Amino acid sequence: MVMIKLQLEITNYHITGSVTHNNGTTVVEASTREFCIARHLFKTTDVSASHNIGRVVSFISGVRSEGLLLNEPKFSEKEML
């Protein structure tokens, strides 16, 4: 069985999400430090940014096939702003 770990690092300025394999190698990483992601966000540290980093990481890494599903946020539209 393949074990993976989803990590989310939140700093004062950016959010970084990564998927790590059980042998310690990073499979995929996405961050609001990347211009192509940051330009689509209003802020790089809000709830919407963390939700979108999770979406990018899950789609790129293909972890859906490993059992990690993309869940819709459990907060209102007002909280995302």
pTM of structure: 0.70
Quote the percentage of the chain above a pLDDT of 90: 33
Number of compact structural domains in the chain: 1
Range of the domain at 56: 4-80
Give the closest residue to 17 by CA, choosing from 37, 33, 35, 31. 31
Q: List the CATH number of the domain containing 22.
A: 3.30.420.80
Runs of H (alpha helix) within 1-81: 35-38, 47-61, 77-80
Each residue's pLDDT expressed in tens, for the chain with a length of 81 residues: 667 888 889 999 999 998 888 888 887 889 999 999 999 999 999 999 998 998 888 777 664 455 555 555 555 556 555
